[in-house]
Amino acid sequence: MLRQALPFPQGAQVTLNNGRQDGPPDLDELYRDLNRKLRGLFSGRGGDGGPQGGMPPSDSGAGIGLGLLGGLVVLVWLGSGFFIVQEGQQAVVTSFGRYSHTVDAGFQWRAPYPFQSHEIVNVTQLRSVDVGSNSVMPATGLRDSSMLTRDENIVDIRFTVQYRLSDARQYLFENRSSDEAVMQAAESAVREIVGNSTMDSVLYEQRDAIAAELVKSIQSQLDKLKAGVVVQNVNVQSVQAPEQVQAAFDDAFKAGADRERLKNEGQAYANDVIPKAQGTSARLREEAAAYSARVVAQAEGDAQRFKAVLAEYQKAPGVTRDRLYIDTMQQVYSNVTKVMIDARSGSNLLYLPLDKVLQATSGNGSTSAAPAAGAAASSAGEATSSASSNNSGSSSDARSRDNLRSRDRDGR
């Protein structure tokens, strides 16, 4: 506060504040005193409104005051161009409303208003927009999120689009509202994808793939609009049939689940039965091939043996016939357990129980079977001796029988 020293007579008492000797000064008096001194400073006059020191007013004093005031105003105006951009933000500077440049985080300066201005946007903030609402349209009775599929069915789909800003200039100047452009692009993309898909694929089969397709389609449309937006993620909240047919679709879904379960059970049964059947068929084929090879080899061997016997028979027919007869009788008697011997002389029939002898041999052991075998052998010897004694009396009958056998063999 400027104070003017006034001469007072020596010994005079100074009275301030309306005659009071002490206490705080009057605010109204101080304000009037300050205004009076300022007017005197700019007009070159003293604080009392008259010429200072009796001198006429000076033009240079008024000019200096005006210059100081103007400089102060200019400094304040220039200082208004400084601004601070926080981390994760960008500032778009415009010159007379036209885009000039973009500045990043830090202490920045631009030309003061009205030459330039700035607008700060957050480019790292994760923004989101919800597509689809529960509001029902009176004309159709369906929600705004209901849309038509390729097979002429209606599905209700709602999702959220999460995005960030990639270009602040495009976000502010290329579109009237980039957020509204994101919503419109999302609605257009989801209707295109759902319109090209069937209802079953949207509800069950490709439900997870729809989100990835939506990200690509929305980003493509936003790039064409130059919205300055990067789509980060699409969260599909609900995909369902209209409420009027929701119960029927739940039943259909359960039936489809049962069908898949039965199909899997049938496939598991087929996987168990078919390999077994294939293994059995392969085994039967191998056995048939082995049997065929065995029969063919045996037939070929028999044919070769018969050819060899024929050659020997042609060389000695009588010896060959007797040899064949003896081999045949050996094979026959080796496979039988009962022997009947016919004595031609007295028409006596001898029975030799070989099966009983073998059974007794296997049951009693070799020590107990020896007497039985000896008895059987003695009885057989007696029978043979009696038969030979009977046959000695009729040698002519034996010769006749031999001749008969020879004729029978020749006939064979």
Crossing angle (nearest 10°) for helices 27-43 and 59-79: 110
For 16-53, write each residue's pLDDT tens digit: 444 444 455 566 777 677 667 766 655 555 444 444 44
Q: Is the pLDDT of residue 291 over 90?
A: yes
Q: Is the pLDDT of residue 275 over 90?
A: yes
Average of per-residue pLDDT values in the chain = 74
- Percent of the chain past pLDDT 70, that is, above it, reads 67
How far apart (Å, rounded) are the C-alpha atoms in residues 365 and 360? 8
Strands 338-343 and 229-240: unpaired
For 66-110, write each residue's pLDDT tens digit: 778 778 888 888 878 788 888 878 888 888 878 888 888 878 888
| pLDDT score of 197 | 86
| pLDDT score of 279 | 93
| pLDDT score of 175 | 84
How far apart (Å, rounded) are the C-alpha atoms in residues 168 and 120? 9
More confident residue, 185 or 64: 185
| pLDDT score of 40 | 65
| pLDDT score of 53 | 45
How far apart (Å, rounded) are the C-alpha atoms in residues 40 and 50? 8
| pLDDT score of 39 | 67
Task: Please report which residue ranges of 138-177 form alpha helices under DSSP H.
Answer: 168-173
What are the angstrom distances between the C-alpha of 172 and each of 104, 124, 125, 179, 183? Answer: 16, 15, 16, 10, 16
| pLDDT score of 299 | 94
Handedness of CA 367, 369, 370, 372 (dihedral sign): positive
pLDDT category at 277 given cuts 50, 70, 90 is very high
| pLDDT score of 21 | 47
For 117-174, write each residue's pLDDT tens digit: 888 888 888 898 888 776 666 555 566 678 888 888 888 888 899 999 888 888 888 8
For 191-249, write each residue's pLDDT tens digit: 889 888 888 788 877 777 888 889 999 999 998 988 888 998 888 888 887 777 777 77
Closest CA to 321 of 403, 406, 395, 264: 406
| pLDDT score of 346 | 61
How far apart (Å, rounded) are the C-alpha atoms in residues 296 and 226? 88
Helix (H) or strand (E) holding 90: strand 89-95
| pLDDT score of 350 | 66
For 323-334, write each residue's pLDDT tens digit: 888 988 888 877
